[in-house]
Amino acid sequence: MSANNTYDAIVVGSGISGGWAAKELTEKGLKTLMLERGRNIEHIKDYVNANKAPWEFEHRGGRTQKMIEDHPVLKRDYVLTEVNEDYWVNEKESPYVEEKPFDWFRGYHVGGRSLMWGRQSYRWHDSDFEANLKDGVAVDWPIRYADLAPWYSYVEKFAGISGNRDGVPILPDGDFMPAMDMNIVEKDVSARLKAYYKGNRHMIIGRTANITVPHEGRTNCQYRNKCWLGCPFGAYFSTQSATLPAATKTGNLTLRPWSIVTKVLYDKDTKKAKGVEVLDAETNKTYEYYAKVIFLNASTINTAWILQNSATDIWPDGLGSSSGQLGHNLMDHHLGVGASGIVEGYEDKYTFGRRANGIYIPRYRNLDGDKRDYIRGFGYQGGAGRERWSRDIPELNLGGEFKDALGEPGGWTMGIGGFGETLPYHDNRVYLDKTKKDKWGLPVPVINAVIKDNETKMRIDMANDAKEMLEAAGVKNVNIYNTEAVLGKGIHEMGTARMGRDPKSSVLNGWNQVWDAQNVFVTDGAAMTSAACQNPSLTYMALTARAANHAVEELKKGNI
Amino acid sequence: MDRRTVIKNLALVIGGAALLPSCLHETGKASIALKKINVSADQEKFLADVAETIIPKTTTPGAKDLSLHLFVLKMVDDCFSKNDQDAFMSGLDKLKADAETRFGKSFGEASQAQRESLLNELEKKQAENQKAQGKNAKKPADADDRLTFYGITKGETIYGYTNSKYFMTKEIVYELVPGRYNPDYPAKNFKATLKHGLS
């Protein structure tokens, strides 16, 4: 072992959870190597489009035929635009196999998807951790809300989450910064919903990882709503704005971009991992790095991929596969169903500033005595806004008056879209395709995951409830939309190396340690035992901080 | 460095997009560099006149002032499929010929009223098609290339207009860094003219 290649800890991946792992481990004194498969993106300096005005983009933000050709997956959704095309994976270099359609949106660069994430940040409720046990689905979570609550506080305080302490029982309040405001229409809709449902349904302002007051050397949100270009103010939580500077400050961090981790090096004598193998993405040379502790934060599907490619001489299906669960139970939130309509009046009202946030309607189904023909539930995200100009001026199609009308504000609209819980199904899975190779000659992942009966039934409620609520709140001409549910579109992949109480039925223990190699920790979405319906990133942060703390304690005790 | 190179470099410096001035092109060709579609100066002029009819110069700038027709060409060249590009070009030629037959002169030489009436006919046909399609989804849309040409031209002209520097800074209020969010903002302040001038 070369001293140059030896660290106390290795973190694989530099996104939301990898950044947290690096911060926690370095702050606790561990010399840490953070490996990132893609290029570096330096905070502010490399946000090349962040300060462009809309008219400075060659196609004004549109998508070209070349972009469509280059991104056969990304083109399926709104995320493919001219403004941040470079933040998305090169799909030709890194293909995957879809046995069933699965939209896999990846960011292969330092910061990962923390640069482009939606930033909605919600705690889970105790009932979310109890749900599998209560319903007899999959396996029980090995932890409860009480285990995670202090870690939620810990990560909220550092990341900076703005929101109200709304006191909605199903959605625990956190340590928040001042909330962003609802606009005038949203306020009224929220009040009408509360009255109509007698306080049993709530529409609150989104809780978002955009800071509303200066914090940790970062500038508060400037209401540009250009977050996914990278924020020159560091106003939303990302690896670059928050965890990476903290980790760097310790002097204990080494960041190595262009480093594709191909496997965890497993030592069968010690029954622990001794390091990782890295393929340099630029030179194609192979390196080994060694450490006492390894955190896998490569994102749900790639973390499973690394494990499945590791220690195959001992376990043919890879490190952590002894339970038969590695790569299985892939989840996402199913979405693409909701409703929208027009709001009459408020013609003298507008908004100023571009709020990078919307409203949230927390789950209410299958709670407090409500019983549906499916289990679990869904929440909604959405908002009200005023169109910039009215598209429906009869008989005014062109000419001078038409031109002037383009500069007038249009009508108000309000829409909400559901985020539904997907159950962990054993046959929703990822595995390695040994025949098809990527640019570096590595096997590509095969994804096979679909929604089933429970989700299909839930979607009927997601559509009808949206219409009912909007109409109850006075929204007119309400139209339901219910698109085909393709997993992956939620960009909330979870579950491929689940936590559990028993090594026979789970990949990780209650501290996110791989049962089969206890100095390997998995704290990204792969660890999730169920999906709940809240956006999951805040939970990854809390799990990571908790696991890193445990890892260091175990190291000190000599247990790993 | 000769003059052409200077101009080329200048264009690269300014925009990267390189809407190159016409002096760099052989006579009869479009005034900007296009990769996929082949557009003559004559066709470009017709397109400019159509765009100008949609967004005419009044007391405020029109499509030609803002080079919106060049934006339309840029978008058609880069962002549309081969089928759409072909239909766009063929529709352009047909409509151009229609105008000459009907008015006995080019579209650009016709009066604003004449030009509007021709385009409004297309608007009407488009609306009828949409209505028919709404009733019976299986019924194929009228595959008139003129409608494809006009639909793309109108859509991109408006997109170019409402995203132009002129519109976003002089017609409405746009700040790159608003710095604050006002959830209850008087709608009358939406207009740049009112905010900065009259009110």
Q: Residue A348's closest chain B neighbor by CA?
A: B187
Same domain, A432 and A294: yes
Q: What is the pLDDT of residues A259-276, one digit of tens each?
A: 999 999 999 999 999 999
What are the beta bridge partners of residue A385? A413
CB of A190 within 8 Å of any CB in chain B? no
Mean pLDDT (whole number) for A42-61? 96
pLDDT band at B133 (very low <50, low <70, confident <90, very high): confident
Is B75 within 8 Å of A62 when comparing Cβ atoms?
yes
Place of tokens 């007391």: B59
Q: In this predicted structure, what is the pLDDT of residue B132?
A: 80
Q: How far apart are CA B124 and CA A81, in angstroms?
A: 32
| End-of-domain residue from the set A433, A465, A486 | A486
* Domain count across chain A: 2
Q: How far apart are CA A25 and CA A11, in angstroms?
A: 9
Same domain, A263 and A363: no
Contact A538, A123 (CB under 8 A): yes
pLDDT band at B149 (very low <50, low <70, confident <90, very high): very high
| End-of-domain residue from the set A486, A507, A537 | A486
Nearest to B180 among A223, A402, A404 (CB): A223
Say whether A334 sits in a helix, a strand or coil. Answer: strand
Same domain, A394 and A343: yes
What are the beta bridge partners of residue A287? A278
Q: What is the dihedral of CA A230, A235, A240, A246, to 10 degrees?
A: 170
- Enclosing H/E stretch for A231: none
What are the beta bridge partners of residue A55? none
Q: Any idea what the CATH number is for the domain that residue A153 is in?
A: 3.50.50.60
Residue A314 within a domain:
yes
Nearest to B79 among A65, A183, A224 (CB): A65
Q: Measure in Å the smallest separation between the Cα of A395 and chain B Cα atoms.
A: 9
Q: Measure in Å the smallest separation between the Cα of B121 and chain A Cα atoms.
A: 11
Q: How far apart are CA A190 and CA A180, in angstroms?
A: 15
Q: Residue A60's closest chain B neighbor by CA?
A: B163
- The answer, yes or no, to whether residue A300 has pLDDT greater than 50, is yes
Say whether A302 sits in a helix, a strand or coil. Answer: helix
Same domain, A300 and A341: no
- For the stretch A63-67, contacts whose Cβ atoms lie closer than 8 Å and that sit 24 or more positions apart, written own/partner, are A63/B79, A64/B78, A64/B79, A65/B78, A65/B79, A65/B80, A65/B81, A66/B78
Q: How far apart are CA A17 and CA A33, in angstroms?
A: 15
Nearest to B180 among A55, A64, A353 (CB): A353
Same domain, A461 and A400: yes
- The answer, yes or no, to whether residue B17 has pLDDT greater than 80, is no
Mean pLDDT (whole number) for B159-186? 93
Q: Residue B189's closest chain A neighbor by CA?
A: A350
Q: In this predicted structure, what is the pLDDT of residue B196?
A: 42
Q: How far apart are CA B146 and CA B96, in angstroms?
A: 10
- The answer, yes or no, to whether residue B94 has pLDDT greater than 90, is yes
Q: Measure in Å the smallest separation between the Cα of A195 and chain B Cα atoms.
A: 22
Q: Residue A408's closest chain B neighbor by CA?
A: B191
Q: What is the percentage of chain A residues whose pLDDT exceeds 90?
A: 95
Which tops the pLDDT comparison, B99 or B131? B99
Is A223 within 8 Å of B161 when comparing Cβ atoms?
no
Mean pLDDT (whole number) for A230-259? 98
Same domain, A13 and A99: yes
Structure token digits, residue A557: 């005790």
Residue A221 within a domain:
no
Backbone angles phi and psi of A114, in degrees to 5: -65, -20
Nearest to B158 among A183, A351, A406 (CB): A406
Nearest to A352 among B80, B160, B182 (CB): B182
Q: What is the percentage of chain A residues whose pLDDT exceeds 70?
A: 98
- The answer, yes or no, to whether residue B4 has pLDDT greater than 60, is no
Same domain, A275 and A146: yes
- The answer, yes or no, to whether residue B143 has pLDDT greater than 80, is no
Residue A70 within a domain:
no
Q: In this predicted structure, what is the pLDDT of residue B197?
A: 39
Predicted complex ipTM: 0.90
C-alpha angle A234-A299-A305 in degrees, rounded to nearest 5: 155
Q: Residue A355's closest chain B neighbor by CA?
A: B181
Say whether B25 sits in a helix, a strand or coil. Answer: coil
Same domain, A340 and A277: no
Counted across chains A and B, CB pairs separated by less than 8 A come out at: 136
Structure token digits, residue A35: 């490996």
Chain A, 41 to 70: residues with Cβ < 8 Å from chain B are: 51, 53-55, 58-66
Chain B residues with CB under 8 Å of A397 CB are 119-120, 123
Q: What is the pLDDT of residues A144-160, one digit of tens each?
A: 999 999 999 999 999 99
CB of A354 within 8 Å of any CB in chain B? yes
Q: In this predicted structure, what is the pLDDT of residue B138?
A: 52
- The answer, yes or no, to whether residue A169 has pLDDT greater than 70, is yes
Which ranges in A254-412 belong to alpha helices (H)? 300-308, 400-406
B157 closest CA partner among A320, A323, A402, A330: A402
Place of tokens 């008219």: A55
Q: In this predicted structure, what is the pLDDT of residue B194?
A: 54
Residue A81 within a domain:
no
Q: How far apart are CA A436 and CA A447, in angstroms?
A: 13
Q: How far apart are CA A330 and CA A430, in angstroms?
A: 7
A262-266, A385-389, B177-181: segment of lowest average pLDDT: A385-389
pLDDT band at B137 (very low <50, low <70, confident <90, very high): low
Q: Measure in Å the smallest separation between the Cα of A335 and chain B Cα atoms.
A: 26
A98-102, A116-120, A230-234, B3-7: segment of lowest average pLDDT: B3-7
Chain B residues with CB under 8 Å of A408 CB are 190-191
pLDDT band at A211 (very low <50, low <70, confident <90, very high): very high
Residue A67 within a domain:
no
Q: In this predicted structure, what is the pLDDT of residue A79?
A: 87
Nearest to A397 among B123, B162, B171 (CB): B123
Nearest to B159 among A60, A186, A399 (CB): A60
Q: In this predicted structure, what is the pLDDT of residue A38?
A: 98
Q: In this predicted structure, what is the pLDDT of residue B21?
A: 44
Is A51 within 8 Å of B178 when comparing Cβ atoms?
no
Residue A242 within a domain:
yes
What rounded mean pLDDT belongs to chain B? 84
Residue A387 within a domain:
yes
Chain B residues with CB under 8 Å of A64 CB are 78-79
What are the beta bridge partners of residue A276? A264, A289
Q: In this predicted structure, what is the pLDDT of residue A409?
A: 87
Domain that holds residue A550: 1-36+86-162+237-332+424-447+495-560
Q: Residue B71's closest chain A neighbor by CA?
A: A59
- The answer, yes or no, to whether residue B8 has pLDDT greater than 50, is no
Contact B125, B181 (CB under 8 A): no
CB of A479 within 8 Å of any CB in chain B? no
CB of A182 within 8 Å of any CB in chain B? yes
Is B178 within 8 Å of A183 when comparing Cβ atoms?
no
Q: How far apart are CA A335 and CA A462, in angstroms?
A: 9
Mean pLDDT (whole number) for A52-57? 96
Chain A, 398 to 417: residues with Cβ < 8 Å from chain B are: 398-400, 402-404, 406-409
Same domain, A370 and A508: no
Q: In this predicted structure, what is the pLDDT of residue B10?
A: 39
Structure token digits, residue A305: 């991929």
Q: What is the dihedral of CA A60, A65, A70, A76, to 10 degrees?
A: 80
- The answer, yes or no, to whether residue B6 has pLDDT greater than 60, is no
Nearest to A409 among B158, B167, B187 (CB): B187
Q: How far apart are CA B82 and CA B76, in angstroms?
A: 9
Chain A residues with CB under 8 Å of B130 CB are none
Backbone angles phi and psi of B93, in degrees to 5: -65, -40
What rounded mean pLDDT belongs to chain A? 96
Q: In this predicted structure, what is the pLDDT of residue A388?
A: 72
Torsion sign over Cα B102, B104, B106, B108: negative
Q: Which residue type does A355 have?
A: R
Chain A residues with CB under 8 Å of B184 CB are 183-184, 349, 351
Nearest to A398 among B54, B171, B173 (CB): B54
CB of A453 within 8 Å of any CB in chain B? no
Q: In this predicted structure, what is the pLDDT of residue B173?
A: 86
Say whether A420 sits in a helix, a strand or coil. Answer: strand
Q: Measure in Å the smallest separation between the Cα of A117 and chain B Cα atoms.
A: 21
Burial letters A218-235, b for 16+ CB under 10 A, else e:
bbbbbbbebbbbbbbbbb
Q: In this predicted structure, what is the pLDDT of residue B198?
A: 37
pTM for the structure as a whole: 0.93
Which tops the pLDDT comparison, B193 or A369? A369
The CB density around residue A538, as the number of other CB atoms within 10 Å, is 26
Supply the DSSP string of A147-214, one letter for each residue: HHHHHHHHHHHHHT-B------TTS---SPBPPPPP-HHHHHHHHHHHHHTTTSS--EE--BSB-SS-
Q: How far apart are CA A276 and CA A292, in angstroms?
A: 11
Mean pLDDT (whole number) for A156-167? 98
Place of tokens 């190179």: B5
Chain B residues with CB under 8 Å of A384 CB are none
Structure token digits, residue A335: 């979405």
Same domain, A400 and A306: no
Is B178 within 8 Å of A353 when comparing Cβ atoms?
yes
* Share of chain A residues as helix, strand and coil, in percent rounded to the nearest 5: 25, 20, 50
Contact A331, A339 (CB under 8 A): no
Residue A358 within a domain:
yes
Same domain, A141 and A6: yes
Is A65 within 8 Å of B78 when comparing Cβ atoms?
yes
Nearest to B163 among A60, A66, A180 (CB): A60
Number of helices and strands (H, E) in chain A? 10, 19
Same domain, A201 and A320: no
